[in-house]
Chain A
Amino acid sequence: MIFDVQRFCTHDGPGIRTVVFLKGCSMRCQWCSNPESQKSKPEILFDAGLCLACRACLNPRFGGAMQELEGKIQPDRSKPVPEGLSKVCPSLALRVAGRLAAPRALVNEVCKDSAFFVRSGGGVTFSGGEPLEQAGYVLQCSRLFQQRGVSVAIETSLAVEPRALELLLGSPIEWLVDVKHVVPQKFRRQTGGSLEQVLTNIRRVSKASDRVTYRIPVIPGFNDCASEREGLLEFLSSLERASGGPIRLELLPYHDLAAGKYVQLNRPNPFNRKPLPEAVVETWKLEAETRGFVVNRGG
C-alpha cells in the first residue's frame, strides 16, 4: 500500500530522486508530518472548504464512505474506502490516501525519470510511513529497480521487527536512518515506539552497511535541549560502524506544515508548535561538526 509517488525530490538521499511513500507505521510520533501515512488502510482526506456539495460522492455505489450529516458532507470513517472514490470529486475536496501498486507498475512509473537519476547520482527512495513494515514488497521492488540500474534508498525509523530489517540488509541500499532519542520513556511517550528495538536495529544496520546516513528530527520540547543533543550525538559517536568514513548526519528541524492534513483527516493535531529558532539548528550543526560528523540540513 502506497500513498504517494513524488518526482524530483532532492533532499531524500543523493541526487535527484523519486520518493515512494508507503502507508502504515507502528509509531505515532506526535509531530508526524505525514499523518495520512500512519494507518495501513486507505483513508479519506477531506477538505470541506473545497466541497461544492455536488453529492457525487454520496452515490450508493460508494457504500456510504461519504455521508451527509446535519447538512454537512463528510467521511464516515467507520466504512471501508471503496474503489473509484478517489476519482469522483471534481473539486478535489475529497482525496484518498492509499492505493495498491504492483511492483512492476511502480518500477515503470518511477523509471520515467531514470535519465535524471543516472546523471545526478540519484534513484528511488522508499519512505513512509514505515517502509520496513512492507519489507517484502520493498525487497521485491528493490530487486526490480536494481535490475534496471536504479539505486535504492530507504528512509526508516527502524521501529520494526529485526527480521524485517534482515530481509533487506543483503541488498545494496542507501540507508537513511532516523535517530530520535536515547531515553526510552520519553521516546515511548511521544512516539509510541520501543526505543530498545530501534537502537538495536540502528546498531545492526550500522555494523552491516557502509552506506548509512543518520537523520535526527530536531523537535521542540522532545529532543532539542542540550543534554538530549549531547546524548544523541554521543550515541552516534559510539556506534560500531561498517563505514570507515565520517558519520553522515542530516538534521531535520521540525516544521508545522502538516496542520492542514490533520484537519482533513478529522484528527486532532497532537503537536501544534512553532518551528525552532534558526540558532538552535545552527548549534546542533556546530556541535555535530565538532565531533567530525559531516552535517547537512534536510527536510
Chain B
Amino acid sequence: MEILVCVKQVPDDSVKIGLNASGAPAIDGVTMVANAFDTYALEMATRLKEANEGTITVVAIGPEKAKDALKSCLAVGASKAYLVSDEGLENMDSLATSYVLSKAVSKIEELNGAKFDLVFCGKETTDCTTGMVGPELAERLGVGCVTGIVDISLKDGGISVKQETEEGYNTVETAIPAVVTVNKPEYDPRYPTMKSKMAARKIPIDVITGADLGLEADKTAPAVKVTALSEPPKKQAGVKINEKTFEDTMAKAMEVLKEAKVF
C-alpha cells in the first residue's frame, strides 16, 4: 500500500501567539513544529502500514526550514520525504495549497514510480484552521474523501473508517484511492527512538520547485483576501456568588440563572 501524508510546518500550538505592531501574528522566535493533526494522520497511516505493509511518503510545502518537520516524520514511520519549495508559495490560501498539492501528488507518483492508494491529511492546521485543504485536494484528484476520521482499516479492497462528528460517529466505507483527513484518535503519536531520529537525519529530502510541477501562477495566487486579523476577545470575568451559607449560595445562583433566562 502506497500512502502519502501531507504535512504543514506551523508555529508551536502550545505557545500563545498575539499580533505584532503591524497586525500580523507575532511568530518570531516561536518554534516551528509539524501540525498536530498531521502528526495524528502520520501515526494512523503508520499503524495501517504496520498492519498491512506498504510505504509512507510525506510531503510539505514551505521554506527550507520546513525540512525539520519532514525529518521528524521520517523518524516516526515515513520512509520518503519531499519538500515543495519556491518563491510565491509562501502565503497561499487553501484553494492554492490544494492545487499545488495535487500537482505534487502526480509528480511524486512519477518519482516514486507508483500511484498512491491513500492520501492522509490532518483534519485542519493549528494555525489557519480552515479544514478545507483535504476535501479540495480530493476534488482535484477526482477521488473520494472522508473528513475527521479517528480510525481506519482495510476492507474489501477499499477502506472502512470511523468518522467523528458533532453528534457521534459514522462508519464509512469507500473505495481507494481516496483522501482522508484525520482528527485526534484515541492514541497519541509515538515518540521517535534515538536510533530512528539519527537514521532520519541521513535520509535525503528532495526539493520540488514550482517549475518541476509546471504551476500556473494565477492558480497559486490567493483567492481569499485577508483584510484584517484580530485577537479573540478576552474572556469576561464571571459573577462570583458567595453567600453566607451553601443553601443561600445555591438559591442566589438559581435566581441569577433564571434572570439570565437560562431556563
A associates with B: no
